[in-house]
Amino acid sequence: MGSALNLSIPQMEEQFGVSAAMIGWVVTAFTLSVAALSVPFGKLADATGRRRVFLLGIILFVVFSVMCAFSPNIPSLDEKSLNL
Instruction: Write out the residue range of the structural domain in which residue 54 sits.
Output: 22-84
Residue 43 has a pLDDT of 94
DSSP state of 73: S
Q: 49 lies in a domain?
A: yes
The tens digit of pLDDT for each residue in 11-61 reads 888 888 888 888 888 888 888 988 998 999 999 999 999 999 999 999 998
Q: Find all residues with CB under 8 Å of 77, minimum gap 6, and list them.
A: 26, 29, 68, 71
Residue 78 has a pLDDT of 64
**How many separate domains does the chain show?**
1
pLDDT top residue among 80 and 20: 20
Q: 34 lies in a domain?
A: yes
pLDDT top residue among 81 and 77: 77
**CA atoms of 81 and 84, how far apart (whole Å):** 8
Contact 9, 31 (CB under 8 A): no
